[in-house]
Structure 1
Amino acid sequence: MSTVVLLSTRRLPPTYFDQVREDLGDQNITIDVVGWVAPSAWVADKVNTFTLIGPGRMPAQPAPEPEVEAEATDEAPDAVIAPEAVADPETVVADEAKVAPAAAEVAAAGENPVTQPVAPSATPAPPPPAAKPRPTGAKRVVKAVEWRARKARKVAGRMLPKAIKTSAPVKFLRGQRATNDLGKNYWERVLSRRDVMATIDKADVVVALDAGAIWAGWNLGQRKASTPVVLGLPAARREFDQLKAPAGNG
């Protein structure tokens, strides 16, 4: 059975690993993942291992759905009302005649209700919060320097036209810087984890899935010349086809 190690810095859904098996042409392939971020849902039934080396936590296993039971009713479905439990119409009319005068007296009494004076609340208002003491001495100097630095950054930001700040080259440079920082952090974490390096040593093919994992893939390719390290699933498919070719020709 072939083994592939996926290097990823993006959030992967569980269905992605079904697509990996389809793209590699082997439903029985063993998948190990080294991820910087946790997957979007539980993936223990999709991969052999998923090692999280970045911030966050792995999603928990979903709880099984409880069985729905039929609601019990107090009354039997075939219950029958006894004839003697039904009131006679003449009795109902007599009872209504007795209740009418009493209701009239209650309504008359409600026209002139006696109002009780409401006592004012005796709870005093809370005192205002005490003013924060101002910094003195060296702390005052540090606060002044920090305030001037923030003001200088705001002024510098306003001096650049909006068209320049939102232009494609500036966005590209910012994205490249963020990707480079992520790639270096990812590789340093991979190199410092013995369990991750042991998993990579057992792989038939190592695949860097995104730009953040390219730097780690390049370094692994320099360290492990015997194991193919490629970028993307199409290149991994070619490597797996070459691994299977000698056995098929024989």
Structure 2
Amino acid sequence: MSNVVLLSTRRLPPTYFDQVREDLGDQDITIDVVGWVAPSAWVADKVNTFTLIGPGRMPAQPVVEPEPVDPTDEAPDAVIAPEAVAEPEAVAADEKIAPAAAEVVEEKTESVQATTPDPAPQPAPATAKARPTGAKRVVKAVEWRARRARKVAGRMLPPAIKKSAPVKFLRGQRASSDLGKTYWARVLSRRDVLATIDQADVVVALDAGAIWAGWNLGQRKASTPVVLGLPAARRELDMLKVPAGNG
């Protein structure tokens, strides 16, 4: 049995891991995932482990709906005992007592209101925060003008340039680079993740955000193949099955 570790920074659905097994040739493998984002649903029945190292939390296990109850198994209607039914004379007596009780409650309410002290005076509202003066005022003004200049510069770019392929590519590259470094730093800080990777036969970086971590892992442990994408992982697994000397 081969152990495959998947590095991912994207949200993966449970069905994706069925596709992983199919792309890897339905081989006898165990799958461990190191994800920056939690999967879209419960995946404990799809993978060996899924270690979340980014923000958020893992999805909860789905609740199993209870089986419907057969109406024929319900208890028969309750029978009212004769002694539980009030007599007409008792009802009439209760109607006479009710007004008198209401008058007593009103008298007690008036006496309580008369003895209740006036509410305590509310504290005065807090005064507004003093504005910065002197050098602090100059610094705040410069920071405000810098933020405004960046906003104006962004609005001045024509929409065609903002939506152009080169600009989108550069923004995507910058975001992937920042995420990749953060992902790799989190991997290094987790002993459980490093222990899982040390037991892997093949490590697979699934997306651009995981490439930097994959490259660094390849430099740290040259004996374990670290590849990009499932086709390359399939080739590595096929090579592991070939006996030594027959290649």
Q: TM-score, normalised by structure 1?
A: 0.71
**2:191 alignment counterpart:** 194
Q: In 1, distance between residues paired with 2:140 and 2:29? A: 59
Task: Supply the AA of the counterpart residue of 1:231.
Answer: L
Does 1:26 find its partner at 2:26? yes
Q: In 1, distance between residues paired with 2:143 and 2:70? A: 67
Q: In 1, distance between residues paired with 2:174 and 2:18? A: 32
**2:147 alignment counterpart:** 150
Q: In 2, distance between residues paired with 1:62 and 1:17? A: 18
Does 1:173 find its partner at 2:170? yes
Does 1:53 find its partner at 2:49? no
Superimposed CA distance per residue, residues 32-53 of structure 1 (whole angstroms, 9 cap, x where no aligned partner):
1010110111111111111111
**1:111 alignment counterpart:** none
**2:131 alignment counterpart:** 135
Residue 155 of structure 1 deviates from its aligned partner by: 2.1
Q: In 1, distance between residues paired with 2:127 and 2:162? A: 40
Q: In 1, distance between residues paired with 2:244 and 2:17? A: 26
**2:235 alignment counterpart:** 238
Gaps of 5+ in 1: 76-128
Residue 27 of structure 1 deviates from its aligned partner by: 4.6
Residue 247 of structure 1 deviates from its aligned partner by: 7.5
Aligned counterpart for 1:220 among listed residues 217, 221, 224: 217
Q: Relative to 1, partners in 2 of residues 1:247 and 1:68: Cα closer, same or farther, differing over 3 Å?
A: farther
Task: Supply the AA of the counterpart residue of 1:242.
Answer: M
Superimposed CA distance per residue, residues 136-182 of structure 1 (whole angstroms, 9 cap, x where no aligned partner):
43665554334322321222123322222221111110110001111
Q: In 1, distance between residues paired with 2:129 and 2:138? A: 15
| 1:65-214 paired onto structure 2 within 5 Å | 65-71=65-71, 72=74, 135-137=131-133, 140-141=137-138, 143-214=140-211
Q: In 2, distance between residues paired with 1:131 and 1:145? A: 26
Secondary structure, aligned partner of 1:4 = strand
> Percent same amino acid among aligned pairs?
84
Q: Relative to 1, partners in 2 of residues 1:153 and 1:13: Cα closer, same or farther, differing over 3 Å?
A: same
**2:17 alignment counterpart:** 17
Secondary structure, aligned partner of 1:7 = strand
Q: In 1, distance between residues paired with 2:127 and 2:138? A: 20
Task: Supply the AA of the counterpart residue of 2:154.
Answer: G
Superimposed CA distance per residue, residues 30-81 of structure 1 (whole angstroms, 9 cap, x where no aligned partner):
0010101101111111111111111111111111111111345968xxxxxx
Number of residue pairs the alignment of both structures matches: 197
Residue 219 of structure 1 deviates from its aligned partner by: 0.9
Q: In 2, distance between residues paired with 1:63 and 1:160? A: 51
Secondary structure, aligned partner of 2:242 = helix
Q: TM-score, normalised by structure 2?
A: 0.72
Larger Rg: 1
Secondary structure, aligned partner of 1:61 = coil
Q: In 1, distance between residues paired with 2:206 and 2:155? A: 38
Q: In 2, distance between residues paired with 1:154 and 1:206? A: 43
Secondary structure, aligned partner of 1:206 = strand
